[in-house]
Structure 1
Amino acid sequence: MTLQVDPIDRKLLRLLQTDSRKSVQELGDLVGLSASACHRRLKALEERGLIEGYRAILSAERLGYSMQFFIEVGLTSQSETALEAFEAAVQDIPEVLECHLMAGQSDYILRVVCQDHDDFERLHRRLSARLPGVARIHSNMSIRTVKVRTGLPI
């Protein structure tokens, strides 16, 4: 369901995607609203579900996670029970940053981070042994990140 967004809301959303640390006063000044009017708009955007949260983007490499993998997972069954069991189990693995249910060759694609090759081997064994219904795993190592965009093109 697409919600209607006016030009001021769009500008607020673009500004927040760029820097969510700006104060309500700063945001208001940039979009031509008072701080109180800007605050009301932000609350309305949050209540409508257009703003899901605010977060810091951390440096994986500086925190020791120098390796990133995209892991394709095929399950033995695509039943609702099998999918739910897999999805519940993957929630408990902190190295899994993203998990996407796919249409196509793989049932899921996981984006994971690891500190080194040994860390990846431990994670790979953990994925193979602990995730229910796994028939096959195919791992792809990211050599270099070319583009990351956390914001949407609004």
Structure 2
Amino acid sequence: MTDLDATDLAILRVLARDATTSAADVGRAVGIGQPAAWRRIRRLTDQGVLAGRRVALDHAALGFGVTVFLGIRLAAKGRISLEDFERAVTAIPEVQLVQHVLGQFDYRLRITARDISDFERILRRRIMTLPGVGQVEANVMLSEERRPGPLG
């Protein structure tokens, strides 16, 4: 584990809110200069604490109004490798997230679709034809509340 001081944590909070914030703006927000902020951001990146910067897309604004969480249990765990399933499922563009989980299902997927009939097409033509798919359970997202994460 990396030792983080209060300034490092403050920098992480600023970048967690908006990953595009410049080093100068980060420095102003946490009370240090731009060069010091840049060095700290660089160190956090080199240490793997900052694993990348992402842009959050508004799926509804892009025409994808339905998000479905899909639980998948593989039919025969010995007959298909997990890698084969993961390779096939990550090739589907509507699958936004693939999680290998412990519990009732083997995998949990987050899928975005234009509407319910689009989701049905994805389910029938893409998901159900994947190697090893057994039981499937869908949960349609009604709303989502964003949480700030462990840094508060």
The alignment's TM-score, normalised by the length of structure 2, stands at 0.91
**What SS does structure 2 have at the residue aligned with 1:148?**
coil
The 2-side partners of 1:30 and 1:62 are apart by 30
| Counterpart residue number, 1:52 | 51
Deviations 1:63-98 (A, max 9, x none): 111111111101023349521111111110111111
Counterpart amino acid of residue 77 in structure 1: A
User: Contact 2:26 / 2:37 at 8 angstroms: preserved in 1?
Assistant: yes
The 1-side partners of 2:78 and 2:24 are apart by 51
The 1-side partners of 2:131 and 2:104 are apart by 19
| Counterpart residue number, 1:128 | 128
Q: How does 1:73-92 map to 2 (within 5 A)?
A: 73-79=72-78, 82-92=81-91
Q: Does 1:93 align with 2:110?
A: no
* Percentage identity across paired residues of the two chains: 35
Per mean C-alpha deviation after superposition, the further-off stretch among 2-11 and 103-112 is 2-11
Q: Does 1:153 align with 2:150?
A: yes
The 1-side partners of 2:112 and 2:23 are apart by 35
Q: Does 1:108 align with 2:115?
A: no
Task: Specify every segment of 5 or more residues in structure 2 that has no aligned partner in the other structure, as ranges.
Answer: none
User: Contact 1:82 / 1:132 at 8 angstroms: preserved in 2?
Assistant: no
Q: Post-superposition shift, 1:143?
A: 2.0
Counterpart amino acid of residue 15 in structure 1: V
- Assess, with a 3 A threshold, how the Cα gap between structure 1 residues 80 and 8 changes in structure 2: closer, same or farther: farther
Q: Post-superposition shift, 1:132?
A: 1.0
Q: Post-superposition shift, 1:16?
A: 0.5
The 1-side partners of 2:115 and 2:80 are apart by 34
- Assess, with a 3 A threshold, how the Cα gap between structure 1 residues 153 and 116 changes in structure 2: closer, same or farther: same
Deviations 1:124-149 (A, max 9, x none): 011001x111112111111222x123
The alignment's TM-score, normalised by the length of structure 1, stands at 0.90
